[in-house]
């Protein structure tokens, strides 16, 4: 019996989309308003899925409190109320698109969660734009 369990959290951050190797004009044309120099921001909502066998005694796949603490430690506390481009190591040299943010979160959690579990990240940049990454 494999069940997926999901935990939702949020962080508020500033970011800007920009490729250093491109000209200003190329950046502005490609990323539009998301490239404006002084940053904008979002209320990011993150849903982490962990899929695995239900423990027959406890009835848990994984303790959601443990998962919540991992999420807080790995990206909620370090990124909340920060500027992703300026204040984080992860996006100093990586464009903080929703796609890249989801992949970075997946990589961080993958190291902390037992390999017998599948892992998938959904990241809402806005209620109308979101992405999903499961490591494949």
Q: Which of 75, 100, 109, 119 binds a second copy (CB under 8 A)?
A: 100
The answer to whether residue 76 forms part of the interface with a second copy (CB under 8 A) is no
Active-site residue 120, yes or no? no
Active-site residue 10, yes or no? no
Q: On the CB side of 126, how many CA atoms lie within 13 Å of its CA?
A: 4
Burial 24-59 (b: 16+ CB within 10 A, else e): eeebbeebeebbeeeeeebebbbebbbbbeeeeeee
Q: Which of 74/100 has CB closer to a second copy?
A: 100
Catalytic residue among 34, 42, 74, 120: 34
Q: Which of 24, 63, 69, 73 binds a second copy (CB under 8 A)?
A: 63
The answer to whether residue 92 forms part of the interface with a second copy (CB under 8 A) is no
Quick check: 16 and 85 in contact, CB under 8 A? yes
Q: Which of 74/122 has CB closer to a second copy?
A: 122
């Amino acid at each position: 019996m494999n069940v997926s369990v999901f935990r939702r959290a949020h962080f508020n951050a500033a970011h800007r989309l920009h490729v250093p190797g491109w000209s200003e004009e190329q950046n502005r044309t490609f990323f539009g308003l998301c490239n404006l120099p002084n940053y904008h921001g979002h209320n990011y909502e993150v849903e982490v899925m962990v899929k695995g066998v239900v423990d027959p005694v406890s009835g848990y796949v994984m303790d959601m409190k443990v998962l919540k603490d991992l999420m807080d430690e790995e990206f909620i506390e370090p990124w909340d109320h920060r500027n992703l481009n300026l204040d984080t190591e992860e996006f100093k040299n990586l464009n903080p698109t929703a796609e890249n943010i989801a992949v970075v979160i997946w990589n961080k959690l993958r190291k902390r969660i037992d390999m017998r579990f599948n892992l998938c990240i959904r990241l809402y940049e806005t209620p109308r734009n979101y992405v999903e990454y499961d490591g494949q």
